[in-house]
Structure 1
């Protein structure tokens, strides 16, 4: 067993907690192999891992930042044998799943693999070649200065919450000690009763002993009851604080984090908090007390019946061996079960979010089959875990039964040979009967704690993700214009989306931007709100760099009416305020009147208190966008960005909205984004966005005369409208 542990320590394998984290996990394994350290969250950022996983280029660049000399290579098996090991190999599992593994050793017979999904194992040459289909590897040589930044341990994080509630913790432990001590005293009274008072035929002492035993049981039950109440209160306080801090951290993470994670995976990790809660309850309610019971039982066993104590002590190595053998297997199976559950939850979110399309295209059967496959996989993993737990319980119960029978037989022999008194044997039996269930519960608790450690680690991985940085201190004050100068932006592992992008959004006018679908118009709105960082260039408020402005003040004053407005379950009022505190209802009504949309909300039966969303009235696309408009204008932003935000509004409402925008633009800057030139023709200044940069700009009525590109786009759109309706129509 020690050799196996040393073998695994020599060839570390970092396990992946997410399906797409095999690349960062493999790289972290190699970093630790060469004496460095980091955490998988940091490496996920370095490798630019997203919802689709990692690629070879990302691993090479990340390895270089960690201090390696790294390069991607392809070749045959014999070529790989001549290279310095270890390396990272790209493999394909089940002929469809791309995966990264560490090749620690290679010879003519096969390879030793460190697999982030399965652990450390050997694979024959033929089987390795079957999955090493692209013959691609990342070769690494350690430099002189590898990154050595050990991550904080999750236990220190979770225990910090218990230190905050140490009064409740100490009271719980004290009552547990009292209950344990009272339980152990019962064995002493049993020994006295059988060996002293019954032979003496002293009825008074027998009655006194019975009264003492009854009092002990009452005190023990009372201490146990109080301890359980304190434990529930402690557990409640800790879990409230953990959940509050975790959600606060999640809601302050950068937007990029959410675009690279599946919603189901995030919610599954939040739901893992239930496992943590149950494990903590078991640890402080069972494990600590059972440890005291075992220690106290052994102490009294050696005092009352030392030979039986030695017999019981001889069985402990079996339990230790049992725990050592199954712990790693249990941890692996629990990890796989949690990952499978996260996949099921992500599929649920995805399917329910697209139920309209599923019904429209008669795809219910296909999605049902997909869910069945994922759920069957999850249940299979859960069943394997359950079978392992059942085997452990069987072995533990069998060992306990053998020990009890052996202790009774051994004790009876000692009594017959006058080595032990009958009372001592019965007291020893009582102690064993009290101790063995505690030992079995410790085995079960170890399994539960293994699951909790994985759940906490999955939560803790998210806590290692850095919060959104607010480097600015200045308030936003727009005098002339918001300027974009020579801006470059690209998604990880993709070609540049914007190249040398330059334009201005001026105060006192409606500026517009045209671009085809996929040109990055919606991404641009998020860049202007500093939700995404640019690769190069400047974003200026007049002459002040945007990063010098307080990020909360910037988002308050650069408001966006997005293409898709999120409606939350609640009232119209709650959806307009979206968490902003307003003391007086009249203030909201006054603000809506100022915007010019009071008549629109008066059509609802309960006005602003009308329930909408899943639990209330279903809104049309136009109604949703009007709510989004008021939501954006409520704080009187100095820059209003409308991203296709009036495409689903009827002609009358569009006229009202445009009148509102025109009036609002007199004192502020309005930026209208659309692919509909007929809508943009009503604005003061227009930019054409093509291939990541501005190709034409000017007033719409001048562009139709001076820009051939604008003329071509205008006539193309006009022809489309004429073909659709036989005459020129306006699309709103």
Structure 2
């Protein structure tokens, strides 16, 4: 598989464990990693290898085995993070020093994190009577897994690393195709405007040589000179008018075209984001995505509207000037034109350096935007913990880092540009030095008119080079932004949509998990070989400790993620075979923290159903016990609520969310801690609304308050990715040493303590 990232090139480390180390290991290698510090915190590469029964450590330089220990003799694995490095300590007993301490830099954090987890699981398995079912052996290639996880941080930030500029530029230019007429009109206008700008210097030279000098020499009368001069003056005025008209046409067409292309990029980017899976959003900063849709497309508009045509005009003008100067006087013309390729090459090489600097700038800019997108929605938390000053410091620090990065850009640019212009002025002075003797009668005389024309063309000469230099800077900015956009557009969703996917006209609500396993990162199993079947119309409660896999089950049912192993059936049909958009319309969710959009209450309840009438919205609100409080608001259903509904109470937001679910009339309903964050009175109102909502539907309810699941047909107790108990509330309480009984007793004791 082709990968733009290479471990040896970009991380300066080997892309797999050395062969001579691998040959020394007698058992199958399950997982391995490189760590890069020794006990003295000096750089030294070593390898930690986990096999079927032990952990081993080798030196990279001479493949010497320096540590080997079986899992049975290890009691605990402990990770500690310091300012510039981390440690992984392997303990034989809590009251004894570590038998091994591994030191590593942040570059190895991802892979060492996997080592830490896997080693902890193996140790727990060896020291426990429970079967933790670590079934990843023989399912992953250790070499491939090492490469994927070592490169993962680079892939996460690949938007901030410029790709091949030429391919990115060509792809960006492909967006010009729908606007060929704009390009053609802009190009023609640019050529005409350029041609018009070349006429005045020539006419000026003609005016001097053919009229002014003969008149001063007495060979031409004033009357005849004026008669011939006025047409030339009129032609000069006409060329200026024609030039400005076509400049206006070019600017008008190209600026509009730039806006259309920026609009197309924003549309494609936003549409693509809507198709991405939840795993993508969990790994991307909101601020980074926002900056790509807004700031990056704006920079591209700037380049498309002015950069492309300006470079074309400058190239045409420069070529025409070179030809004209050589045709006027080939000696002086060569002095001006021969250095041009060197000047253009210096602009190109400087542009390559600038592209790298701009790439770093956009990375810092994304960090700054990320702070804003994190802080502003969570302003209530900031104020509640009086963290305004700390947030100011945090933002100021990121702002300063961004400023320092942009200062590097400006320092590099301002150093290069004066040097370039000084070179051009030097060439001009050399031309003067060679021309002056010829003007005063030396051999190979030069007429005043020709030199005036030459001078006027020389004054135009620096303009195109200046434009090319400025546009190179603009182009590098645009290519960096375009690459960030295309990086998102090229990211494929892990949820694959089949073209021939089935659409079930009516979903009953049968759900079956067949040997389902799932892992978010490819190594740590969240669900392990899970099997269960839910009948249509049945209410299932999911309980258990945090991190056990309850929410993951609901996410898999909603197909926010695809299973790693096994299959989920909906009414006997594999979930992967169903049309995902059609299926999700038949699945409703009420979350612990409901998300409301900025808009009216009516719009939030009717979200996804724009053609629904007010009567149905009101009826859904009444069922959700929301109608009364809505009507008490100043504008009723037309009341505009703030972003995420922050000007409503938690219970009010929850009831609006329930009304939204009722209006959609889903056949499968997921309740994720729907009453956990409200007071008792509000909980009663929400529970009453939920009781109405759940009638006639398949319901999967996650709850920590076990009292809310008394009416469930069955309760699944989920622990470490497995269903360890299932049954009715009453039956589960009869198992006195069971998980559910312990959870129930714990909550009962807690409630009694609070009551006291």
TM-score range, shorter-chain basis?
0.7 to 0.9
Tell me if structure 1 keeps the 8 A contact 2:371–2:395.
yes
Structure 1 pair 480–351 and aligned structure 2 pair: CA distance change class (3 A):
closer
Tell me if structure 1 keeps the 8 A contact 2:508–2:667.
no
Q: List aligned pairs for 1:134-533, cutoff 5 A.
A: 153-201=167-215, 202-270=225-293, 271-416=295-440, 417=442, 418-467=444-493, 468-471=495-498, 472-475=501-504, 477-479=506-508, 481-492=510-521, 494-533=523-562
Give the equivalent residue in structure 2 for 1:699. Answer: 728
SS state of the match for residue 712, structure 2? coil
Q: CA deviation at 1:648?
A: 3.2
SS state of the match for residue 338, structure 2? helix
SS state of the match for residue 339, structure 2? helix
Tell me if structure 1 keeps the 8 A contact 2:287–2:366.
yes
* 1:26 and 2:52 matched: no
SS state of the match for residue 276, structure 2? coil
Give the equivalent residue in structure 1 for 2:119. Answer: none
Q: In the aligned structure 2, how far is the partner of 1:245 from the partner of 1:325?
A: 32
Q: In the aligned structure 2, how far is the partner of 1:521 from the partner of 1:25?
A: 42
Tell me if structure 1 keeps the 8 A contact 2:516–2:527.
yes
Give the equivalent residue in structure 1 for 2:106. Answer: 98
Q: In the aligned structure 1, how far is the partner of 2:745 from the partner of 2:83?
A: 52
Q: In the aligned structure 2, how far is the partner of 1:492 from the partner of 1:177?
A: 56
Q: CA deviation at 1:503?
A: 2.8
Structure 1 pair 24–231 and aligned structure 2 pair: CA distance change class (3 A):
farther
* 1:560 and 2:586 matched: no
Give the equivalent residue in structure 2 for 1:37. Answer: none
Q: In the aligned structure 2, how far is the partner of 1:525 from the partner of 1:641?
A: 7
Give the equivalent residue in structure 2 for 1:43. Answer: none
Structure of higher CA gyration radius: 2
Q: What per-residue deviation string (whole Å, max 9, x for no partner) do you get for residues 232-271 of structure 1? A: 1111111111211111111111111111111122223222
* 1:690 and 2:719 matched: yes
Q: CA deviation at 1:585?
A: 3.2
Q: In the aligned structure 1, how far is the partner of 2:347 from the partner of 2:63?
A: 39
Tell me if structure 2 keeps the 8 A contact 1:592–1:598.
yes
Q: In the aligned structure 2, how far is the partner of 1:715 from the partner of 1:725?
A: 15
Q: What per-residue deviation string (whole Å, max 9, x for no partner) do you get for residues 391-440 of structure 1? A: 12111221222222222332222322353211111111111111212111
Structure 1 pair 660–676 and aligned structure 2 pair: CA distance change class (3 A):
same
Structure 1 pair 337–74 and aligned structure 2 pair: CA distance change class (3 A):
farther
Residue range with higher mean Cα deviation, 568-577 or 598-607:
598-607
Q: In the aligned structure 2, how far is the partner of 1:480 from the partner of 1:582?
A: 26
Q: What per-residue deviation string (whole Å, max 9, x for no partner) do you get for residues 512-570 of structure 1? A: 11122222322322111111111112211131111111101211111111122112211
Q: In the aligned structure 1, how far is the partner of 2:644 from the partner of 2:693?
A: 34
Give the equivalent residue in structure 2 for 1:85. Answer: none
Residue range with higher mean Cα deviation, 686-695 or 163-172:
686-695
Give the equivalent residue in structure 2 for 1:79. Answer: 62
Q: Which runs of 5+ in 2 are unaligned?
A: 16-30, 36-46, 50-55, 65-81, 87-104, 110-144, 149-163, 216-224
SS state of the match for residue 153, structure 1? helix
Q: In the aligned structure 1, how far is the partner of 2:3 from the partner of 2:574?
A: 45
Q: What per-residue deviation string (whole Å, max 9, x for no partner) do you get for residues 340-360 of structure 1? A: 111222223223344333333
Tell me if structure 2 keeps the 8 A contact 1:511–1:672.
yes
Give the equivalent residue in structure 2 for 1:88. Answer: none
Q: Which runs of 5+ in 1 are unaligned?
A: 1-11, 16-21, 32-53, 59-69, 82-91, 102-136, 141-149, 727-732
Q: What per-residue deviation string (whole Å, max 9, x for no partner) do you get for residues 90-117 of structure 1? A: xx9965862379xxxxxxxxxxxxxxxx
Say what the alpha-carbon RMSD is for the aligned residues: 3.3
Q: In the aligned structure 2, how far is the partner of 1:602 from the partner of 1:700?
A: 38
Tell me if structure 1 keeps the 8 A contact 2:517–2:564.
yes
Structure 1 pair 606–657 and aligned structure 2 pair: CA distance change class (3 A):
same
Q: CA deviation at 1:602?
A: 2.2
Equivalent position to 2:755, from 713, 719, 725: 725
Q: In the aligned structure 1, how far is the partner of 2:467 from the partner of 2:490?
A: 33
SS state of the match for residue 585, structure 2? helix
Tell me if structure 2 keeps the 8 A contact 1:483–1:541.
yes
